[in-house]
Amino acid sequence: MQKNIAVIRGDGIGPEIVEQALKVLNKVADAYSHTFHYDDVDMGGCAIDKWGDPLPEEMLKRCLASDSVLMGSVGGPKWDGVPGHMRPEKGLLRLRAGMGVYSNNRPAKIWPQLAGASPLNPSIVEKGIDFIIVRELIGGVYFGKHETEDKDGQLVATDTMSYSEAEIERIGRIGFETAQKRGKKLCSVEKSNVLDCSRLWKKVMHRLADEYPDVELSDMLVDNCAMQIVKNPAQFDVIVTENMFGDILSDEASMITGSIGMIPSSSLGATTCGLYEPIHGSAPDIAGMDVANPIGTILSAAMMLRFSFDMAREADAIEAAVSAVLDAGYRTSDIMPADPAQAAKYQKVGCSRMGELIIQNLA
Ligand code: IPM
Ligand code: MG
């Protein structure tokens, strides 16, 4: 098969982690006789520097013309001073909206080899951590009105959140369908004791539930959910939630699996052209040092093969290679145990070495 992949290296550690994912994709292309064409697209802080815009129209067009987009990370302190509508992150939000990728899938799964890296009590980890957060990605407060006004000599900031029934219904369906393919348990997370958006959310989820009788639907308030994720993560199969709650809960969920550096994500809308990115940020403090963990990006590339290109065998092979490298005891610094006696059992490697090891283990 031939596929065109738009590649956004972005800022901070973005270029180094994306480089490793491309090495892995090239190896897959060789091994399975595919051709991947890459189109380098500027987005984020680097695009602000080069073009004066975090996502020039032309770059968005190139993403829309691709079969899928693979992205590293954007942002950094260098652009902290730029106005809100021109921030690197705004480029990412415009890309998500422009591609119409409303459904963001963020797995929280503990690799057995990394059980010791979880900050949770082993008695909790033993019960298993394997759930998915389905996050609504192009609505809510992220895309509401944002303004700061001077009212009688005092600055007043306003951000508005709004959701339509249609927006809730389409992400709700993804939640139910995801649960149908897994453990058939869907937890809808909201703040219906305070927010109108959440009361509508809950109503729509319950209306949909009639169409998915094989899925057991439950509701949970977001503050309680934050607590339950650390107290008893084994209770979750699929969580469906709105944009900002999903942003926050997915960082929390990643931490209990050991490291945010391990977690990939897929974002899809009405077509198979998806956006694939690790859920972590650009980590400017370690950028260019060859110490970042490329696994989240490599697994995002695997998700791209699985969900957008229908290449399940190839995706399985990448995941198996990651597992083999972890089995062999290689760790980037973020997944090294903190305890020196434990750490002595593992071999610390940098970003590019981790990429090479994964390639060597690709069957
Ligand atoms: C994420 C990130 C983004 C978000 C930022 C970079 C805009 O935190 O993908 O989780 O908030 O969605
Ligand atoms: Mg986030």
221, with CB counted inside 10 A (0-12, 13-18, 19+), is middle
- CA of 291 relative to ligand 2 center, distance in Å: 21
Distance 244 CA to ligand 2 centre (A): 9
Which ligand lies nearest the alpha carbon of 140? Answer: 1
Question: Which residue lies with its CA nearest to atom 9 of ligand 1?
Answer: 279
Index of the ligand 1 atom closest to the CA of residue 247: 10
For residue 279 and ligand 1, the question of a CB distance below 6 A is answered with yes
- The per-residue pLDDT string of the chain (363 residues; one tens digit each, 9 = 90 and over) reads 999 999 999 999 999 999 999 999 999 999 999 999 999 999 999 999 999 999 999 999 999 999 999 999 999 999 999 998 899 999 999 999 999 999 999 999 999 999 888 999 999 999 999 999 999 999 999 999 999 999 999 999 999 999 999 999 999 999 999 999 999 999 999 999 999 999 999 999 999 999 999 999 999 999 999 999 999 999 999 999 999 999 999 999 999 998 999 999 999 999 999 999 999 999 999 999 999 999 999 999 999 999 999 999 999 999 999 999 999 999 999 999 888 998 999 999 999 999 999 999 997
Closest-lying ligand 1 atom to the alpha carbon of residue 93? 7
Residue-wise DSSP of 206-269: HHHHTT-TTSEEEEEEHHHHHHHHHH-GGG-SEEEE-HHHHHHHHHHHHHHTS-GGG---EEE-
7 lines ligand 1 (CB under 6 A): no
- Find out whether the beta carbon of 89 lies less than 6 Å from any atom of ligand 1: yes
Q: Report all structural domains of the chain as residue ranges with CATH numbers, in order of start.
A: 1-109+258-363 (3.40.718.10), 119-256 (3.40.718.10)
Residues 6+ apart with CB under 8 A from 259: 114, 117, 293, 334, 335
Q: Is 92 in the pocket of ligand 1 (CB under 6 A)?
A: yes
